[in-house]
Amino acid sequence: MKDFSVLIGGKAGEGINRAGFIIGRILARMGYRIAMYYDYPSLIRGGHNFAIIRAIPDTAVAAHHTTVDCILALDQNTVLLHGARKTRDTVVIANSDAVKDETIGVPIQTIAREEGGLPIMANAGLIGAFCGAFGISWDHAAGVLREEMPRDVEINLAIARRGFDAVPRNATLPAGKSLEMPLFTGNEAIGLGLLQAGLDAYVAYPMTPSSGILHYLAETAPETGLKVVHPESEIAVMLMAQGFAYAGSRTAVGTSGGGFCLMTEGLSMAGMSEVPVVVVLSQRPGPSTGVPTYSAQGDLGFVLSAGQGEFPRFVCAPGTVEQAFEWSGRALNLSWKYQVPSFVLVDKALSEGIYSFDDANAGRIRKEPLPAPDPARPYRRYADAPDGISALLTVPFPGSVIKVNSYAHDEDGLTTESPETIAWLTEKRMRKLPVMVREIDRPDAVVVAGNPDAATAVLAWGATSGICSEVAAMLDLRMVQPLVLSPFPQSAFSGACAGTDRIVAVEENATGQLARLAAAHGIPVDNQILRYDGRPFSIEELAGRLAEVLS
């Protein structure tokens, strides 16, 4: 079997995300590459949650199909809402305590109760039934369940085994071709990349869909020695992060659009005071509260221009877990090297999606050292330099006064309103830009996939690049993904688009924000395929939209 998809659905509070992850682990151990999309409303209990786990035996995977090979239904709603995903070959395995008239029924709630388990343990029975129906050995399934359900493991195994034994074998899922790879969310990959680059402190107020970074780093803090702080507001987050950085701690913050709105005055302070900070911004639909648990790409224009006045910034937009790992670490190093704010701009689909992490395709990240100031000269925090980058010391440092200032200031950090000094300070900040461009305007700042010689290119950024890459390969098109969006890698982007006679931008926003950015840099977009309902494209949907545009 080349491509296999399974959907599991139920109510919030029934462990759908966790069950989907365990199914992904089982398939990953069989040698498959995994991508899992998780869909849920902003409810603690009730509503409808579902996860689609897609497994491919030999290549990277980043998107889901419209139809699935198996539906695992904890409730009747799952069957009703996902009827259109069934084909005549789809196997439906349902909780017969709550779902009637389906292909295979297993009374998993009854089983859980009889085995002395909690109601949430019923999903172990459904996982067991899935493995039994598709010929996955019990030893294989039990090995993963022992690792992923360490509490009450024997009860969970007993429930799963009864589900396994209750179903007829429908098919045998063959082994895949890949070595088992770890499964990461994008948020976990970001956290790992930041740690690899020497992260000392992480400050965040929980905000979906970036909250997973806070949870992950808090869990690892006892092992890593990381300082993890949850202040009272996003305003406090940004100010506290700059306090940490002033004292020498490499610091990042995490948020989404609404939280970042509150951080923008503090961001401007970072621009003026030249205190490094990394902002991980995971996008969801807006404006305002928008739709908190769904995905969008509507904040690119905001991030590129956020804050008052003019100051350089670095913005990257990874689209895979490997890119998230590498570029979050690079963002931290670049922020400290150039003393500018850096952004890792992602979205819910990447942040909370689960993917196989291929270490061979992830860049090597380390903490990059900073040049030391000249010990023979008195230290000035804002000493002039040809590239605008002053030597950076942090408090406490014997014999040196290290004064940072959000007001216009001179080389010593002393407040000024002198027109000459104000102009000098502005020019000093902006002299960093050409140096930053030279560093990032390289081929690795832009990814080309699909057919690199095709005359038609699909332009994508962030998580949409994964599905665009797959569909471009299907349709013999070129896919171009700029990883760096500020400073814009003009030369690398032009080279990636060279030889095209048609460019189609695919974005999850209503205004074509990447298309506008490309046009501003001399590469006009011919067509746009936009989606703004909070959901990612499926492979069939995007292939159909592209076929319409190109016909």
Give pLDDT, residue 137: 95
Confidence of residue 75 (pLDDT cuts 50, 70, 90): very high
Count of alpha carbons within 13 angstroms of residue 433, beta-carbon side: 15
Tokens standing for residue 399: 């014999």
Q: What is the pLDDT of residues 93-104, one digit of tens each?
A: 999 999 987 778
- Integer Cα distance of 260 and 71 in angstroms: 38
Residues of each domain in the chain carrying CATH 3.40.920.10:
4-165
- Span 4-18, mean pLDDT? 95
- Tell me the Ramachandran region of residue 237: left when phi exceeds 0, alpha when psi lies from -120 to 50, beta otherwise: alpha
Confidence of residue 248 (pLDDT cuts 50, 70, 90): very high
Q: What is the pLDDT of residues 130-167, one digit of tens each?
A: 999 999 999 999 999 999 988 899 999 999 999 999 99
How far CA 388 is from CA of 368, 383, 384, 435, 477, in Å, comes to 19, 9, 6, 9, 42
Residues of each domain in the chain carrying CATH 3.40.50.920:
441-550
Sheet of strand 478-482, all strands in order from the earlier edge strand to the far edge? 446-450, 478-482, 456-459, 502-507, 527-530
Q: Is 81 exposed, middle or buried (0-12, 13-18, 19+ CB in 10 A)?
A: middle
Evaluate whether 282 touches 531 at the Cβ level (below 8 Å).
no
CATH classification (class only), 441-550: alpha beta
Say whether pLDDT at 73 is over 80: yes
Evaluate whether 282 touches 254 at the Cβ level (below 8 Å).
yes
- Span 56-65, mean pLDDT? 93
Q: Does domain 4-165 have CATH number 3.40.920.10?
A: yes
Sheet of strand 484-486, all strands in order from the earlier edge strand to the far edge? 227-229, 201-204, 251-255, 277-283, 341-347, 314-316, 484-486
Confidence of residue 272 (pLDDT cuts 50, 70, 90): very high
For 240, the enclosing helix (H) or strand (E) is helix 234-246
Average per-residue pLDDT in the chain?
A: 95
Q: What is the pLDDT of residues 383-404, one digit of tens each?
A: 999 999 999 998 888 888 899 9
Q: What is the pLDDT of residues 309-321, one digit of tens each?
A: 999 999 999 999 9
Give pLDDT, residue 105: 93
Give pLDDT, residue 130: 98
Say whether pLDDT at 8 is over 90: yes
Instruction: Give the percent of the chain with pLDDT over 90.
Output: 91
Give pLDDT, residue 103: 78
Q: Considering the domain 183-361 in this protein, what is its CATH number?
A: 3.40.50.970
User: What one-character-per-residue DSSP string does 370-388 give?
Assistant: -PPP-TTS---TT---TTS
Give pLDDT, residue 372: 82
Say whether pLDDT at 200 is over 90: yes
Give pLDDT, residue 236: 98
Count of alpha carbons within 13 angstroms of residue 486, beta-carbon side: 22
Who has greater pLDDT, 360 or 64? 64
- Span 23-50, mean pLDDT? 94
Give pLDDT, residue 1: 54
**pTM for the whole structure:** 0.96
Tokens standing for residue 55: 């497994």
- Integer Cα distance of 347 and 271 in angstroms: 24
- Integer Cα distance of 259 and 400 in angstroms: 36
Residues of each domain in the chain carrying CATH 3.40.50.970:
183-361
Q: What is the pLDDT of residues 427-460, one digit of tens each?
A: 999 999 999 999 999 999 999 999 999 999 999 9
CA 289, 295, 296, 299 dihedral sign is positive
- Integer Cα distance of 413 and 402 in angstroms: 8
Say whether pLDDT at 339 is over 80: yes
Evaluate whether 44 touches 292 at the Cβ level (below 8 Å).
no
